[in-house]
Structure 1
Amino acid sequence: MATRPPCLWLWLWLWLCLAGLLSLRAANALPLRPDPRDEVLAAALQRLREVFDIEELPPDVLPRKKPPQFMVDLFNKVADANGITRAPGLLQGDVVRSFEDRVHVDQHRFYFDISAMEKGEQMLKAEFRVFKLKRTRRSKRSEVQHICRVEVYELLECENKPQKKHLIASRLLSVYGEGWEVFNVTQTVSKWVGNSSSNHGFWIRTTRVSKNGMEDDVVTFAKSQGAFQESRNALLILFTNSNKRRSHSFVPSAAKSETSRAKSEASRVSRDTGVMESSSASMSRRPRAAAAAAARGSSTACHRRELYVDFHAIGWSGWIIHPSGYNAFYCRGSCIFPMGESLNATNHATVQSIVYTLKLSQDVSMPCCVPDELKSLNLLYFDDKQNVVLKNYKDMVATRCGCH
């Protein structure tokens, strides 16, 4: 009896299994290595986020939401086009947060979600800003007064028709006037910061005395209902301190360690009172060498150079409103004796440069060229809840260099 030949499909299946095992083994034997440049980039961006006190990057705001005009005007007041602080003290605190009204139907109620405030952030002042619309229909002067009273209440409970409320501000206004009205609500908002469940918003009531008695709702305040009124939407503005006083300068860590080492070395030299005296002969023998070194150093002396930080290049342009980037500057150059007044050299740096230039000690290095004066930077940006924030960052721009 003839034997049956093996099935062709069985052989094909076994061959595919073997090929798969061999390819898997080869893949395990030669794993893909991560690109070290990617790790460096990730570490650099993480460090940059720490400098700007950003825990998580906000999502790109697309399409771009229009920021409140008040925040744009405030940025232009405290900073130039590059975000550099015009003058210290113009901004109360180092953070200004704006929150837009979340109630779009009820004309009396205004609610602001302030949960974006960071832990430990100290509130200094809170302003409730609401735009009073112009009244178009006029009544006869003999029938009605043209002055009304506006009262701002804190809502103590959240219902469709809230009854429990607490008066926190009031004033008299012209019925036919138009513009922004600003109420100080610091005490109320401070309570909300400490207990978020107590935040039920504000309630506005307007009244005036007429011939027929008390008349309600005589004026209207803008609500975010359409593009025209979007720029007039009610705002809650918080002026705060972040309580983060770390100085983030653009001085390289290597320069800091070099400065520390130079100070210790110069201190050792200064303790040895005989160094300068015993080296007087060496000084007289090397005047030409010192002059030549000074001539070479004058062309490369310590000075400020440009260092532009482009927020688009690092992927932050989607949520940063102003500026698009800024020039941080950096310091580079030699600090060889003699150093002119423009180098802002300390006495210690002058002594160290002499010892270095005349080779009086082989262990002493040249003084470091580092930022001698720094200014703060202001950013206007969207947070992760699309609130607009103005924040001031200390020691971000080198405005002057010196030898230290």
Structure 2
Amino acid sequence: MHHHHSDMLPVAMIIATLVGLATSKPSIHLENHFSMENESEEVRSAAIKRLLEVFGMEVPPLLRGDKQSPQYMLDLYNTVADVDGVTKDSYLLEGNTVRSFFDKLHNEQVEFLFNLSTVARSEKVLTAELHIFKLQPQASTAFNRHHFCQVSVYQLMDCSKMNITQGKKLLSSRLIPVHSTGWEVFTITQAVSSWMVEEGSNLGLLVTVQTLGGSQMDQKVVRFASERNHHQSKQPMLVLFTDDGCRAAALENTLNGSPCSPQPACHPRPAKPPQRPGPHRSARSLDYEDGEKITCQRLALHVDFEEIGWSGWIVSPRGYNAYHCKGSCPFPLGQNMRPTNHATVQSIINALKLTKGIATPCCMPDKFFSINLLYFDDDENVVLKQYDDMVAGSCGCH
């Protein structure tokens, strides 16, 4: 037992020295102080770089000016995530990424162009939707004899290719009441998938409005909000549901050649989100009670995006509780420690001292939850993304 303590001593001394360094008054050795500061700056930037990688980015997006998230994206976020950003139900979204794009043409006609360059090649397009806002007809047209109009969405094509005559391909078409107002959504998955495959093929979309007889409808009667003349909240928008393969990879637990951050192991997705923890005990009782170690349990660990300096581009949440596992796994392991059979055996071997150098099992997360982030990307598009294994759902001895 004694040699054990002598082993521990140097570590304790090193810790004491570090604590001493941290708390001592500024010394005369300024150059040392500077090198330490530079080192901590280096550590900070390396840490933030790693954190960006967890969120699938290389650099934090740059934002110009104050931007607002489309209401649709805010509503979607609130549907899939609770107040802390934790996923309510993993089956609410088909994939794990939803992107919104604004029109780049700003054309007077009902023609739109969306720049999709921020979508990774590896992302699988599941569904694509064109959202356009139908405005109230102007008063003078109240006596219009038409009650319905035919609204069609076309993909603009290159006429020089594959002898396309009109230069457009019908994607979706339906009847809409002339006097209705609000969002109209058209599915255009086929077009977006083809744009993803062939670079430079994205020539935009065209929306036409016709009478039931097939003639051109009076533009004053049926109008859609455009980027130019109307409020930001009514801008035409392309919404793209994709999957970056991370969820599938996590489920199969094969990460070779996948763009996802490596995850230690695959955890079955929980059926229900974690319950809110009860009232917190005092900090003292959580840590060490009269020198006695706490047994394995889940404690709070707040990640604050503002502190990290990311509040500018992350819309929601402001931060989240990742939780962490702390404490000892003493013999005998109770069922409340959720031990694996292996941990139970290891604990027994340790207790009986049957083999030298066998530690007690470790207190670690054994269930995880995903969180959702609503953020602006480099192109100032709003993205909703789900990240697996971000919150420790429960702790156990393993």
Which of 209, 219, 223 aligns to 1:220? It is 223
SS at match of 1:231: helix
Question: For residues 221 and 202 of structure 1, what CA distance do their matches in structure 2 show?
Answer: 14
Distance change (3 Å), C-alpha of 1:326 and 1:249: farther
Q: Which runs of 5+ in 1 are unaligned?
A: 1-29, 252-294
Take 2:142 and 2:123, find their aligned partners in 1: how far apart are those partners?
52
1:72 aligns with 2:98: no
1:192 matched to 2:195? The reply is: yes
Residue of structure 1 equivalent to 2:345: 351
Deviation of the 1:333 alpha carbon: 0.7
- 1:168 and 2:160 are equivalent in the alignment: no
Other-structure match for 2:48:
45
Give the Å deviation of 1:48. Answer: 1.0
Name the CA distance, whole Å, in 2 between partners of 1:360 and 1:216.
90
Q: What's the CA shift for 1:318?
A: 1.0
Superposition deviation, residue 119 in structure 1: 2.4
Q: Could you tell me how far apart the structure 1 residues matched to 2:388 and 2:72 are?
A: 23
What is the aligned counterpart of 1:206 among 204, 209, 223?
A: 209
Note if contact 1:154-1:188 (Cα within 8 Å) is conserved in structure 2. yes
Residue of structure 1 equivalent to 2:114? 112
Letter in 2 for 1:183: F
Q: What runs of 5+ residues in structure 2 fail to find an aligned partner?
A: 1-31, 160-164, 250-259, 266-288
Q: Quote the Cα distance in structure 2 between the aligned partners of 1:209 and 1:71.
A: 34
1:361 corresponds to: 355
Q: Given that residues 297 and 336 in structure 1 are in contact (C-alpha distance below 8 angstroms), is that contact kept between their aligned partners in structure 2?
A: no
SS at match of 1:197: coil
1:1-400 counterparts in 2 under 5 A?
Answer: 33=35, 35-59=38-62, 61-137=63-139, 144-157=145-158, 164-209=167-212, 215-217=217-219, 218-225=221-228, 229-244=231-246, 245=249, 246=260, 300-400=294-394
Q: Is the 8 A contact 1:381 1:390 kept in 2?
A: yes
Matching residue's letter, 2:121: K
- The structure-2 alpha-carbon separation of the partners of 1:164 and 1:249, relative to structure 1 and needing over 3 Å to count, comes to closer
**Residues 108-132 of structure 1, C-alpha deviations (whole Å, 9 max, x = no match):** 1111111111121111111111111
Shift in Å, 1:356: 1.7
Q: Name which one, 1 or 2, has greater alpha-carbon Rg.
A: 1
- Report the alpha carbon displacement of residue 145 of structure 1 after superposing the two structures with TM: 2.3
From the superposition, tell whether residues 191 and 249 of structure 1 become closer, same or farther in structure 2 (CA, over 3 Å).
closer
Distance 1:345 1:164, change over 3 A: same
4+ aligned runs moved over 4 Å, structure 1: 138-141, 246-251, 295-299
Q: Secondary structure at the match of 1:198?
A: coil
Matches of 1:194 and 1:214, distance apart in 2: 34
Alpha-carbon offset, residue 138 of structure 1 = 5.9
Q: Is 1:209–1:215's contact at 8 Å kept on the other side of the alignment?
A: no
Cα deviation 1:139-192 (Å, max 9, x = unaligned): 576x7121111111111249xxx9622221111111000111111111111111
Per-residue deviation, residues 206-260 of structure 1 (Å, max 9, x unmatched): 11158x976443401111235x521011111111111234566699xxxxxxxxx
CA distance, structure 1, for counterparts of residue 135 and residue 243 of structure 2 = 33
User: Which residue identity is paired with 2:110?
Assistant: H
1:248–1:395: 8 Å Cα contact kept in structure 2? Answer: no
TM-score (norm 2): 0.75
* CA displacement, residues 33-68 of structure 1 (integer Å, 9 cap, x when unaligned): 572222222221121111111122111x35320111
Displacement of 1:103 in angstroms is 2.5
In the alignment, residue 149 of structure 1 is paired with which amino acid? Answer: Q
Q: Are residues 236 and 33 of structure 1, via their aligned partners in 2, closer, same or farther at CA, if it must alter by over 3 Å?
A: same
Q: Aligned with 1:356: secondary structure?
A: helix
Q: How far apart in 2 are the matches of 1:99 and 1:214?
A: 28
TM-superposed deviation, 1:314 = 1.1
Specify whether residues 303 and 191 from structure 1 end up closer, same or farther in structure 2 by C-alpha distance, changes over 3 A only.
same
Asked whether the equivalents of residues 127 and 185 of structure 1 are also in contact (C-alpha less than 8 Å), the reply is yes
Aligned residues: 324
Over 3 Å counting, the alpha-carbon distance change for 1:213 and 1:355 in structure 2 is closer
- Structure 2 counterpart of 1:98, one-letter code: S
